[in-house]
Amino acid sequence: MSINTNKTPRHKWRGWIKSIVIFMIMFTVATTALEAWRNRHLNQMQISATQPAFTTIDGQTVNIFKDSYDQTVLVYVWATWCGSCKVVSPMINWLNNQSWLNTKIVTIAMRSGDDRRLHAYLNMKGYDFPVVNDNSNLITQEWKLSRAPTILIIKDGKIQNTTAGLVTPPGLLARLAWVDMK
């Protein structure tokens, strides 16, 4: 009597699916660990109560610390010259226009030119999110931010979540939901 060792097509598919699921879990764990290691200094950063209010290029005053007690504040640090920001900025603009999202969006443009140049860039791209111009890099140096894009989610005067680099819309919405549940 011989035993048939050939797998049926159904068994082959199960093996492939199992391998894909294991790979996805390992990839998720590895990328999460890498992001946590790269952003470890951001999680220790504090927004100070003495932090001055900032003025956007449209003349609005924003006080990230004070505003974070009223609602969650998403701070998006970006630059016109940043390749990854070209992917993330449309998502930030979309979030800024969602009335159901109880999050204030504040963006900081690092080393991206004067206010006139920033206005032209925003108009060309169709973005209408508020922008604080950090052309001299004073804010980003004080906060020890050197990468664009960087996203800080602040609630009750504390940084609750951070990410640097590319982020997906579901990933960012999950981060915001997590912070709001705390």
The reported pLDDT for the residue numbered 113 is 95
Give the tens place of pLDDT for each residue, 112-156: 999 999 999 999 999 999 999 999 999 888 888 878 999 999 999
pLDDT at 104 over 70: yes
The reported pLDDT for the residue numbered 40 is 60
Percent of the chain with pLDDT strictly greater than 90: 47
Average pLDDT over residues 18-39: 73
Residue 154: phi and psi, rounded to 5, are: -120, 135
List the chain domain ranges.
40-181
Percent of the chain with pLDDT strictly greater than 70: 82
Q: Which residues contact 36 (CB under 8 A, 6 or more apart)?
A: none
The reported pLDDT for the residue numbered 41 is 59
Instruction: Tell me the one-letter amino acid at 35.
Output: E
Alpha carbon distance 172, 182 (integer Å): 16
Half-sphere exposure in the Cβ direction for 57 (13 Å, CA): 24
Of 1-15, 17-31, 68-82, 94-108, the one with minimum mean pLDDT is 1-15
Banded pLDDT at 111 (limits 50, 70, 90): very high
Domain spanning 40-181: CATH 3.40.30.10: yes
Strand partners, 103: 72
Instruction: Tell me the one-letter amino acid at 68.
Output: S
pTM of the full structure: 0.77
- Structure tokens belonging to residue 181: 């549940």
The reported pLDDT for the residue numbered 116 is 96
Alpha carbon distance 144, 125 (integer Å): 28
The reported pLDDT for the residue numbered 132 is 97
Half-sphere exposure in the Cβ direction for 148 (13 Å, CA): 22
Give the tens place of pLDDT for each residue, 44-87: 555 565 677 899 999 999 999 899 999 999 999 999 999 999 99
